[in-house]
Chains A and B, each alone.
Chain A
Amino acid sequence: MRRWFERGIVFWSWGSAVLLLAILLSLLSYLVYRGGGVVGIGLVFGDVPPFDALLLRRQVFSGLFPAIAGTFALVLLAVGLAVPVGLAAGIFMAEYAEGQIKWLLTVLFDVLAGLPSIVVGLAGFSLTLILHQMFPGRLGPCLLISALAIGFLILPYVIHSTQMALESVPPALRRTALALGATRLENIRQVLLPTRLPDLLGGVILAIGRAAEDTAVIMLTGVVASAGLPRSLFEQFEALPFYIYYISSQYADPRELQMGFGAAILLLVVCALLLVIAFIIQQTLSRRLSRF
């Protein structure tokens, strides 16, 4: 009886793993089957010569270039906002915070990490409402608000990865510079951060992935289906994940739908690349750390 039960467990476990693999493979192959044909330089730039598009000499109407540029600008801004704050907050959490303050902040950052992205989007939207009341007619949903909201979304991950990186420095290494007379800040800047640089970088790259893929936040804070290239912080913009969402319900012809699949492949490749880079960085780290 027990033997049959154990056999059943083994069978079911392998079945689960194979099922997941099968779903993953069918998802990927379906994407390639439907969208593989359009992936190429034309998917991005349409019929405009790539060089002209990149130098902003001609506008791209039939390609993904505006959406890619929008996502790129958004991620750059959001990461630029979140990383300095997250790094500083993470250093505080690892090196300075103590007792109840540390407990309270940890809980708050946990809540922030767990907040559904639509709630973060709603917060960003509320911010525009409040700003709109303070400066009537000037500010609506726009790239800046989206970047602030996305930055807020990835902030807890940057804080957490910084904190974890610093806290995992071996005690011997942590105390050496201090014992030699270095100040706390010197120790952080010249010993702790450099030893853990790959770890910090890995955390930032994963945060980039999150910023690039999120759709719910930007849906509420300023993304639109057609806006052209992002021109200013205070205008609406296009983004790759929103384009995919939009196409899924609003495509007009098979060509557009195929572009949607192409966009999905593009976004997936970007996210996969980010994962791979983060993974490689972590691997080098674990090899380096084994020397201590």
Chain B
Amino acid sequence: MSAHIFRLAAFASGFLTIAVFVMMLVLGWPLFTSGQFFAILTGEWRPSNELFGIFPMLVGSALVSVLALCFSLPVSLGTAFVVATLAPRPLRRAVQLMVRFMAGIPTVIYGFVAIFLLVPFMREQLTGGSGLNILTASLVLALLIAPTMIVFFVSGLQNVEERYRLAVDALGGRPVQKLLYLQLPQAWPEITAGIIMGLGRAMGDTLISLMLAGNSVAAPQAAVDSGRTLTAHIALVIAADFDGMQFKSIFACGLILYVFTAIVVMLLRLIIGRSMCQV
């Protein structure tokens, strides 16, 4: 009896996950039947001319998340080195706690502080304009995905048998040598997984790009341009419109994000066979 309840709960949860995909597919169905799906993926967004392409948002999302990854990767890797090996033991724990705390800070707070601290700086010193652009958003996003990546990197680096580490110590290797020539070479699966996971989180985040990227609908040409991501597009269109093709196009955004997530999950399974939930 109870086993049935447990099974029901698990199957229902799994079913709901599929149902989300189906629901978006059904509500966005006119996009597919009218043969416009391809046009929407590659076209530009000009509702006044009946053009509802989400290509600018695709570019925006890709640009923001790849830039965020580029900023975050070196810093995350460096911090992971410190946590895994370079720091003395008590300090390691302190840095690890700092990383956990950073992961716990609500996204909206990162965005809020950035608006009043980073945006004026960008406006006056670096990019000019309003200060709301892809570069600003990706800098903050880099901070947001750093804890995720650090956790993966550290677990990869620490994945070495104790006796190998002791062997390096016994041979007189310094911590940095142990790190570079023993721990790093075998950590590549976890490091790749961390990078994919970081990219996934950067693509999926809404608030940072909504608050900081400027949300203009033209396809961005450069990092200092204002841009709009798929996630921010969903939030902005829902606030404006409930009907018509403009509204339908957000389901295309939702489907793209869903498929992207599924790909990320599959890649993670292939590379490390581990779950996303662990961060």
- Residue B193 at the chain A interface, CB threshold 8 Å: no
A126 CA to B242 CA, complexed, in Å = 11
Please give the distance in Å from A251's CB to the nearest CB on chain B: 10
A126 partner residues in chain B, CB cutoff 8 A? 23-24, 27
Report yes or no: A115 in contact with B111, Cβ–Cβ below 8 A: no
B74 partner residues in chain A, CB cutoff 8 A? 12, 16
* A1-16 near B? 1/0 per residue, CB < 8 Å: 0000011011011111
Report yes or no: A20 in contact with B106, Cβ–Cβ below 8 A: no
Please give the distance in Å from B38's CB to the nearest CB on chain A: 22
Task: Look across to chain B and name the residue whose beta carbon is closest to the beta carbon of A93.
Answer: B10
25 A-B pairs with CB atoms under 8 Å apart are A14-B82, A15-B78, A16-B74, A20-B146, A24-B102, A27-B110, A34-B116, A89-B9, A89-B10, A89-B12, A112-B13, A113-B277, A119-B257, A122-B24, A122-B238, A122-B251, A126-B23, A185-B3, A209-B104, A216-B206, A245-B211, A248-B112, A248-B211, A268-B105, A268-B106
B112 partner residues in chain A, CB cutoff 8 A? 244-245, 247-248, 260-261, 264
- Residue A219 at the chain B interface, CB threshold 8 Å: yes
Report yes or no: A30 in contact with B117, Cβ–Cβ below 8 A: yes
* A176-220 near B? 1/0 per residue, CB < 8 Å: 000000001100000000000000000000000100110110011
A126 CA to B250 CA, complexed, in Å = 11
Report yes or no: B261 in contact with A116, Cβ–Cβ below 8 A: yes
Please give the distance in Å from B177's CB to the nearest CB on chain A: 7
A85 partner residues in chain B, CB cutoff 8 A? 9, 12-13
A219 CA to B108 CA, complexed, in Å = 12
- Residue A125 at the chain B interface, CB threshold 8 Å: yes
Please give the distance in Å from B70's CB to the nearest CB on chain A: 14
Task: Look across to chain B and name the residue whose beta carbon is closest to the beta carbon of A152.
Answer: B16
Q: Which of B14, B98, B117, B231 has the most CB of A within 10 A?
A: B14
- Chain A interface: which of B43-51, B158-166, B197-205, B217-225? B197-205
A209 partner residues in chain B, CB cutoff 8 A? 104
A261 CA to B117 CA, complexed, in Å = 12
Number of interface residues of B (CB under 8 A): 83
Give the residues from 146 to 199 in chain B that come closer than 8 angstroms, CB to CB, to chain A: 146, 174, 176-177, 179-180
Report yes or no: B101 in contact with A122, Cβ–Cβ below 8 A: no
Known: A96-B3, A275-B101; 19 extra A-B contacts, CB below 8 A, are: A6-B177, A13-B82, A17-B78, A17-B83, A85-B9, A85-B13, A88-B6, A92-B7, A105-B13, A108-B14, A109-B14, A109-B17, A111-B258, A116-B261, A118-B206, A119-B204, A120-B20, A126-B23, A248-B211
- Residue A156 at the chain B interface, CB threshold 8 Å: yes
Please give the distance in Å from A134's CB to the nearest CB on chain B: 14
Please give the distance in Å from B160's CB to the nearest CB on chain A: 17
- Residue B34 at the chain A interface, CB threshold 8 Å: no
B211 partner residues in chain A, CB cutoff 8 A? 245, 248-249
Report yes or no: A12 in contact with B109, Cβ–Cβ below 8 A: no
